[in-house]
Amino acid sequence: MPHSSSPNNVARRLRRKVQRISAIGAWRDYASNQRSLGHTVGLVPTMGALHAGHLSLFREAKSRGDIVLATIFVNPRQFNDVKDLTAYPRTPELDHTSAEAHGVDCLVEPTLEEMWPAYPNPTATTVSVRGVSDTLEGAGRPGHFDGVASVVAKLFAVTGSCRAYFGEKDFQQIAVIRQMVRDLALDVEVVSCPIVRDEDGLALSSRNVLLSLDARKKAVALSRSLLAARAESAPASELRARMREVLEGSGVEVAYADVVDPVTLVPVGDDETGERRALIAGLVDGVRLIDNAPVIVEARRG
């Protein structure tokens, strides 16, 4: 059972210096020891460049009384573009300060050699989740979700029984991970947390720091396109058209703008009704951004 999360306990843990680990063996032992003490481990996987969205995951884990174990690892296996991997922001010192200030109990920063000893050669074992990983980001970034599923499976294997916290901005990623957990009967509770947005509506992302001032203004079109789709219920094809109109009108290069079933991610037809999920992705001056929101679909009349 989770340890008590009374204000006094939380305050004591907030004052505790974060423990930093890089070796897989020490990481496994830390999580096992915490469970032996009756604590529930809350795993927050990240690739660093921590922002308010990540901090909200730490807070959610803390509020449930978990020992918060955060990982920072920029996983090369989920990048299908070397330039994208090279450009991915890295802010280690700021990450350490943020983690300690926001109640992380243990910060795990495994080396590339620890995680993928054979890299850059292919790893013999790959976890592939078919169906939910084939469309949207999966179609535009071949191999991306194999890399995601493989690294998350390894995080789960090393950590052991835990709650794992993910932000809903990466909605398809959560669907892939949930499917993997179900299929492999992993002892992990996947907790999805709401998207954290800037004041102008842009979903927080580590990639946002790569945007120029002009691109940053243009990027707000992603959240505006979702607001347009949510303005009133309509057939799925009309919602898709609304989103594309806003994105293209703002100069965003659209990768996709779709309305799908929130579990299977199968595109919704115009004869379907009810709450579904709108997912979008676009290039803003070369920076790929994603966003999503629930929408209400109604069948086409006549």
Catalytic residues: 54
Alpha-carbon separation of residue 271 from 89, 228, 230, 268 (angstroms): 43, 21, 18, 8
Phi and psi at residue 263, in whole multiples of 5°?
-105, -50
Please spell the DSSP secondary structure of 152-220, one letter per residue. Answer: HHHHHHHH-SEEEEEEGGGHHHHHHHHHHHHHHT-SEEEEEEPPPB-TTSPBP-GGGGG--HHHHHHHT
**Nearest C-alpha neighbor of 75 from the set 160, 26, 162, 143:** 143
Residue 153: both structure tokens together: 């499976």
Query: Apex CA 284: angle with CA 279 and CA 289, to 5°?
Result: 35
257 - beta bridge partners? 280
Sequence-separated (6 or more) residues with CB below 8 Å from residue 113: 119
